[in-house]
Amino acid sequence: MGENRKFPGQPVLSQILDVIPKSIINAAGRKHNSNRYYKRLPLRVHLISLLYGIFSYCNGLRELSEGLLACEGKLSHLGLDKAPARSTLSDANNKRSYQVFETIYYALLSQYHSFISDSRLKGLSIRNLKIIDSSTIQLFSELLRGVGRNPLDGGRKKGGFKVHAMMDAFSGTAEFVRLTEAREHDQKFLYHLKLVPNSWIVFDKAYTTYGQFAKWTSQKVWFVTRERNNADVHVTKVLVDKTKKRKSKGVLKEQLVTVGVKENGAVVQRLKLRRITFLAEDGKVYVYITNNMTLPASQIATIYKNRWMIELLFKQIKQNFPLRYFWGASPNAIKMQVYCVLIAQLLMVVIRKKAVTKKSFANMITVIRLHLMSYVALMEFIKDAYKAWRKTHNASFAFTT
């Protein structure tokens, strides 16, 4: 008889779910009374079912429910007595408030924030950098009102909704999320942010709102963005000017400027800002503005360069999780699915950090999806899929001989 090695007694999905403390689910359920008005599907079972659909990339509730049915014999390891019926899931998606899943997401973020955060970012001396942006997800406007147009072929008018996010640059996760109709202007998102003094925030020029910039300045919240082409800027002082030097690169010009802050169409204040003209390595010239007067100009350029991280986050979410088709026809069901996707993304960030792997996010998700219900050690599987699979296979063979 060969060496008897123990192999995992839980499938990969069950090991992923172990990252979610039961206390977080219970606390969220109590806060929103989520089991009182919908007892046919307890919150814990609802969450597990939706996360199964997220990780297995189900495009509809039928795929989700039939997929769980196919896991007969393994459901007990997921904490399920039986697979929920499609109609039960559909009712729960529409009736149970999405806010309980929102609460679970933020509680998980609070639980793991310090663990997943890097101590520093390359080239930056600051310690509290937030990045904001939005991404539009297309759907039929009957589900959620939004921008759209009437197709020439007479089909249904397509609209969408926006995921507005504030990302923590050091953890790679969305720290604050707001879901709105697609037609809502990005600038409104700024009014919902709560930032502590000495925070740094970076965004593109679509968010330019001088009134909000003035409030941040008084609160010692520092921002970096690009200057609008039509900005009404008055130069008050030139600090650096290398534009006439041959072969200049990096910071070309640094100026102190003022912009008009308007209320009811009238200028009520001249806001002092710093304008930095920067020549990037690709030969493009960028003009940044900031309300911070002390950080070196090269650092300001590096801060804005890190804005691409939130685009990577949206790319991770859209390409690796099901957001093309929704598991309900109500705004509540749509928002619920989005928050479950955010929960799944956060769980993957935590697990990737625990596994200490250099495997790409997309590759890790693909491997997990293919072996979601396989009995293999998750952390070892992420580090080296072939080695972990052979180890499990040999262990199970030794156990049966």
Tens digits of residue pLDDT in 187-202: 889 989 989 999 999 9
CA angle 329–335–337, rounded 5-degree value: 80
Q: Is residue 313 part of a domain?
A: no
Q: Is residue 118 part of a domain?
A: no
What is the per-residue pLDDT for 148?
A: 44
333 and 287, same structural domain?
no
CA dist 173 and 116 (Å) reads 9
Provide the pLDDT confidence category of residue 120 given band limits of 50, 70 and 90. Answer: low
77 and 20, same structural domain?
yes
Q: Is residue 205 part of a domain?
A: no
Phi/psi of residue 184, each to 5°?
-70, 135
What is the per-residue pLDDT for 3?
A: 39
Residues 131-147, mean pLDDT to the nearest whole number: 64
**pLDDT surpasses 90 at 226:** yes
CB contact burial 148-173 (16+ within 10 A = b; e otherwise):
beeeeeeeeebbbbbbbbbbbbbbbb
| Positions of E strands within 203-265 | 222-226, 233-241, 250-263
CA dist 302 and 308 (Å) reads 11
Strands of 266-279's sheet in order across: 173-181, 158-168, 129-140, 200-202, 222-226, 285-290, 266-279, 250-263, 233-241
329 and 268, same structural domain?
no
Please tell me which of 71-80, 82-91, 324-333 the model is most confident about, judged by mean pLDDT: 82-91
What is the per-residue pLDDT for 147?
A: 40
Provide the pLDDT confidence category of residue 390 given band limits of 50, 70 and 90. Answer: low
Residue appearing with tokens 């986050």:
313
What is the per-residue pLDDT for 392?
A: 57
Q: Among 282, 312, 307, 338, which residue's Cα sits nearest to residue 207?
A: 307
Provide the pLDDT confidence category of residue 395 given band limits of 50, 70 and 90. Answer: low
Identify the three-state secondary structure at position 310: helix
**pLDDT surpasses 60 at 157:** no
Q: Which of 16-30, 111-125, 177-191 has the least mean pLDDT?
A: 111-125
What is the per-residue pLDDT for 78?
A: 78
**pLDDT surpasses 90 at 399:** no
**pLDDT surpasses 80 at 397:** no
The share of the chain scoring above pLDDT 90, in percent, equals 39
Phi/psi of residue 52, each to 5°?
-60, -45
**pLDDT surpasses 60 at 1:** no
Residue 270 belongs to domain spanning: 225-297
Provide the pLDDT confidence category of residue 44 given band limits of 50, 70 and 90. Answer: very high
Q: Please give the tally of structural domains in the chain.
A: 2
349 and 293, same structural domain?
no
CA dist 95 and 35 (Å) reads 11
Q: Is residue 52 part of a domain?
A: yes
Q: Is residue 114 part of a domain?
A: no
Q: Is residue 188 part of a domain?
A: no
98 and 31, same structural domain?
yes
Residue appearing with tokens 């088709």:
325
Identify the three-state secondary structure at position 236: strand
CA dist 84 and 48 (Å) reads 11
Q: What's this model's pTM, rounded to 2 decimal places?
A: 0.83
